[in-house]
């Protein structure tokens, strides 16, 4: 499983979205009949200056809270969260007023739109609403970070339970871990989530949006309803590949566990897929691997152990990939200030993430690194955030972000696609004599698909669920049923036991508890294949797409850096075109990458019931 982290700027949308740096905040300016373009520019200049000043403090508070969780750091995070929320709402309201000014340039209009939609959880102007919203948000995040499940009746923390879900093949153990995590972590958040939704929705309506979901969908340089249609179109392009994979994996699980655990038809039991959220299935590759072709001859985790890799060598290797493309080394402070290992003496949020504390050169990652394949890939991913953050650091404040949030996630992911056997040979991890031959390509592609393809419907439904919660299409009385229905509809999975409305399983996922929009990860899964194909084309690769590694190609690095340096200064189609030559996000490069696997799956699935 790839732990897809979020950039610090994305987290700042919750903790330190555009806000003043003063402790006492000035009131919004009195209404004017017709603001001018000059006044709008003065507002934009002031806002960006104050955002930068506030974020420096707020991001340090967020870092301390994430790496040293106590009641005191929770309180500090809540306080700064309230300040950020309150001021984000003020800025958004002021931006809406200035959008009416005549003679605005296109850039001014776009910056005002960014300010209006920058906040993830808007609070209404009602006294105390921002503090209440921040208190709830902080409480939910802390509940998740401190959350525990059980294994054989003994408590087990979130990081360890993720690992255990990937290695256990005992259905009783898997069921216990799945149920205990969802019951002990998700269910207690339900009441607070109802309150948080109501407050945020009122704040969104005050800003002129239909609800919080519409606000989230407004950040993609297109109307919210058009963006929703785009995600549906993209899912339709790749759904046949997912259905073929689901059909094959279901049969293999039935063969291993029998009808009493996994039926031959219908949905798959969620806890059998090697991941707490059934979002990526790579951990059970051993269960589904085809005879012969499925034995790749190596496992990255074993290679790391054999070469005596520790956390530092793993991170240095990830840095080395970017250096090979021509990027400058990470600053010394990265090594001094990052969190690489889980401390034994305190609670930390182990969910992997990448930070730029001062929005200049104070780059960091936060991980509880284990020497295994998952974390080796995750390191390459998280560093992608850091190099993106550094590339756009000199842009105006509002443009210090990815072209859209899917871009930020896709950069590291497409680099990680280049972790091919040839790359492992180049860095000395794999002997060339052990590079899998062409007859192993089915296994190589199936192993990739178990993560990349399996994730797609989950990446889509997490926000589809929340959009429906925010709009009221899923009422508070039906939170659990709504979640189960969407997971069945899109993923074709079911929980290992019946769930009722005392439960709240979606909050057992970090991004729901932390109110992090999730569609970015769906977009990133598709964008990474577009970026990867473009890089391979630029490097002159002629073989099968999935065997391509552009490690060491500085031409690719130079063109990539041009896109990264654009940040959010242009609409995302401009940035996409700068690197790939096309302005449309598409699922076709992913389908091309996995075309040999799709053909093989269709052969394996002949005579099998399709879908669920």
- The two tokens of residue 74 are 């929770």
SS3 36: coil
Q: Is 520 annotated as a binding residue?
A: yes
Q: Is 285 annotated as a binding residue?
A: no
For residues 199 and 354, what is the distance between their CA atoms, to the nearest angstrom?
29
Catalytic, 246? Answer no
Nearest-5° Cα angle at 53, 47 to 54: 85
Number of H helices, E strands in the chain: 25, 6
DSSP calls for 470-533: HHTSS-GGGHHHHHHHHIIIII-EE-SS---TT--GGGGSHHHHTT---HHHHHHHHHHHHHHH
Which own/partner pairs from 72-81 qualify as long-range (CB within 8 Å, at least 24 positions apart)?
74/138, 74/139, 74/142, 77/15, 77/138, 77/141, 78/131, 78/134, 78/135, 78/137, 78/138, 79/134, 80/15, 80/16, 81/14, 81/15, 81/16, 81/134, 81/137, 81/138
Burial degree of 188 (CB within 10 A; 0-12, 13-18, 19+): middle
Q: How many CB atoms lie within 10 A of CB 531?
A: 25
Q: Name the phi and psi angles at 222, rounded to 5.
A: -160, 160
Distances (CA, A) of 221 to 216, 254, 404, 523, 574: 12, 45, 9, 14, 11
Spacing of C-alpha 524 from chain mean position: 8
Q: How many CB atoms lie within 10 A of CB 67?
A: 18
For residues 528 and 4, what is the distance between their CA atoms, to the nearest angstrom?
13
Catalytic, 382? Answer yes
Q: Is 381 annotated as a binding residue?
A: yes
Q: Is 409 annotated as a binding residue?
A: yes
Q: Of 359, 382, 408, 546, which residue is the catalytic one?
A: 382
Q: Of 511, 565, 577, 592, which residue is the catalytic one?
A: 511
Q: How many CB atoms lie within 10 A of CB 32?
A: 12
Q: Which residues are annotated as a binding site for chloride?
A: 220, 520
Q: Which residues are annotated as a binding site for Zn(2+)?
A: 381, 385, 409
Q: Which residues are annotated as a binding site?
A: 220, 381, 385, 409, 520
Q: Which residues are catalytic?
A: 382, 511
């Amino acid at each position: 499983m790839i732990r897809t982290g979020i950039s610090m700027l994305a987290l700042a949308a919750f903790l330190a979205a555009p806000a003043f740096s003063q402790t006492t905040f000035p009131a919004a300016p009195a209404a004017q009949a017709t603001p001018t373009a000059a006044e709008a520019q003065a507002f934009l200049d002031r806002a960006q200056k104050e955002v930068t000043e506030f974020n420096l403090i707020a991001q340090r508070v967020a870092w301390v809270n994430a790496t040293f969780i106590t009641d005191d750091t929770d309180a500090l995070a809540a306080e700064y969260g309230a300040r950020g929320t309150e001021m984000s709402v003020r800025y958004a309201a002021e931006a809406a007023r200035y959008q009416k000014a005549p003679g605005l340039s296109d850039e001014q209009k776009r910056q005002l739109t960014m300010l209006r939609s920058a906040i993830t959880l808007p609070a209404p102007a009602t006294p105390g609403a921002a503090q209440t919203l921040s208190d709830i948000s902080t409480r939910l995040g802390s509940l998740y970070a401190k959350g525990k499940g059980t294994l054989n009746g003994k408590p087990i923390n979130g990081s360890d339970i993720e690992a255990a879900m990937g290695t256990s093949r005992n259905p009783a153990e898997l069921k216990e871990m799945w149920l205990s995590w969802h019951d002990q972590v998700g269910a207690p958040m339900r009441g607070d989530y109802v309150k948080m939704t109501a407050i945020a929705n009122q704040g969104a309506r005050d800003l002129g949006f239909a609800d919080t979901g519409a606000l989230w969908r407004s950040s993609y340089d297109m109307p919210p309803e058009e963006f929703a249609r785009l995600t549906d179109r993209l899912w339709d392009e790749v759904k046949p590949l997912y259905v073929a994979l689901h059909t094959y994996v279901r049969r293999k699980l039935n063969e291993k566990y029998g009808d009493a655990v996994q039926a031959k038809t219908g949905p798959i039991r969620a806890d059998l897929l090697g991941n707490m959220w059934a979002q990526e299935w790579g951990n059970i590759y051993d269960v589904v691997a085809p005879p012969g072709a499925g034995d790749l001859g190596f496992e990255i985790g074993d290679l790391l152990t054999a070469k005596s890799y520790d956390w530092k060598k793993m991170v240095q290797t990830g840095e080395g990939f970017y250096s090979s493309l021509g990027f400058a080394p990470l600053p010394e402070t990265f090594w001094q200030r990052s969190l690489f290992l889980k401390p034994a003496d305190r609670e930390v949020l182990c969910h992997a993430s990448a930070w730029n504390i001062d929005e200049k050169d104070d780059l960091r990652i936060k991980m509880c690194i284990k020497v295994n394949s998952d974390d080796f890939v995750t390191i390459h991913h998280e560093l992608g955030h850091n190099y993106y953050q550094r590339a756009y650091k000199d842009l105006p404040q509002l443009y210090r972000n990815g072209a859209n949030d899917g871009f930020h996630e896709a950069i590291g992911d497409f680099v990680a696609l280049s972790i091919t056997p040839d790359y492992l040979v180049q860095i000395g991890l794999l002997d060339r004599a052990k590079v899998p031959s062409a007859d192993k390509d089915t296994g190589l592609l199936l192993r990739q698909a178990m993560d990349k393809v399996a994730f797609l419907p989950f990446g889509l439904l997490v926000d589809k669920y929340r959009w429906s919660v925010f709009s009221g299409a899923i009422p508070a009385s039906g939170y659990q049923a709504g979640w189960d229905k969407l997971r069945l509809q899109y993923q074709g999975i079911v929980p290992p036991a019946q769930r009722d409305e005392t439960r709240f399983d979606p909050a057992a996922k970090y991004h729901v508890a932390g109110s992090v929009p999730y569609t970015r990860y769906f977009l990133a899964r598709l964008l990474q294949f577009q970026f990867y194909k473009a890089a391979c084309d630029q490097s002159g690769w002629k073989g099968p797409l999935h065997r391509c590694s552009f490690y060491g190609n500085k031409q690719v690095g130079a063109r990539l850096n041009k896109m990264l340096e654009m940040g959010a200064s242009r609409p995302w189609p401009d940035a996409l075109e700068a690197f790939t030559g096309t302005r449309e996000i598409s699922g076709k490069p992913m389908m091309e990458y996995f075309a040999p696997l799709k053909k093989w799956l269709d052969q394996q699935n002949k005579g099998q019931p399709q879908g669920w």
